[in-house]
C-alpha cells in the first residue's frame, strides 16, 4: 500500500470567460465538507485518505467533479449528502457510488 489508501481530488477551477466550471457549482463547499468528514472520522493522514484541491480536471461538462485514486473513479455531485455517500461508501467501505459516477464520455 502507498502512503495514503485514497486520494480524492476536487476540481475547484473557476473560468473567467463565462464558461461553465466546477468552481461555479459549489465545489469549494463540497471540498470543505469532505475534508471535515474525513478528519472527524479519523481517516486523514498516512494510511488513510488525503483530500486535495485540484485545478481544472478537464471534465467541465459534468461538473462539479471529484476523482478518487488509486481507482481513478470519477464522481459528480450536487450536495453534501452526495459527498457523504462518497465518503461512507467509497472511502470507508470501498464501494463505488454508482448513482454519482461521471459518464466516461463526459469531457470539457
Q: What is the pTM of this model?
A: 0.93
> Does residue 22 contact residue 60 with C-beta atoms inside 8 Å?
yes
C-alpha cell at 99: 448513482
Residue 73 lies in a domain: no
Confidence of residue 97 (pLDDT cuts 50, 70, 90): very high
- Name the pLDDT band for 1 (thresholds 50, 70, 90): low
- pLDDT tens-digit readout, 39-78: 999 999 999 999 999 999 999 888 899 999 999 999 999 9
Give exposure, 9-21, as e/b (b: 16+ Cβ within 10 Å). bbbbbeeeeeeeb
In this prediction, residue 108 carries a pLDDT of 78
What is the structure's pLDDT at 19? Answer: 76
**Do residues 90 and 97 touch, judged by C-beta distance below 8 A?**
yes
Choose among 95, 18, 36, 27: nearest CA to 63.
27
pLDDT of residue 77: 94
pLDDT (0 to 100) of residue 15: 84
Give whole-number Cα distances, 29 to 12, 33, 98, 102, in Å: 10, 6, 22, 19
Instruction: Answer yes or no: is 105 within a domain.
Output: no
How far is the first Cα of the chain from the last one, in angstroms, to the nearest whole number?
33
CATH number of the domain to which 60 belongs: 3.40.30.10
Q: Copy the grid coordinates of residue 66.
A: 471529484
| Residue 108 within any structural domain of the chain | no
Structural domains in the chain (count): 1
Amino acid at each position: 500500500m502507498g502512503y495514503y489508501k485514497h486520494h480524492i481530488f476536487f476540481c475547484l477551477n473557476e473560468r473567467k470567460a463565462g464558461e461553465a466550471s466546477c468552481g461555479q457549482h459549489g465545489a469549494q463547499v463540497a471540498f470543505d465538507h469532505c475534508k471535515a468528514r474525513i478528519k472527524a472520522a479519523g481517516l486523514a493522514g498516512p494510511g488513510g485518505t488525503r483530500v486535495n484541491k485540484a485545478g481544472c480536471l478537464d471534465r467541465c461538462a459534468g461538473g462539479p467533479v471529484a476523482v478518487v485514486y488509486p481507482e481513478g473513479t470519477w464522481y459528480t455531485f450536487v450536495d453534501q449528502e452526495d459527498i457523504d455517500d462518497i465518503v461512507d461508501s467509497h472511502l470507508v467501505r470501498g464501494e463505488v457510488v454508482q448513482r454519482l459516477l461521471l459518464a466516461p464520455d463526459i469531457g470539457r
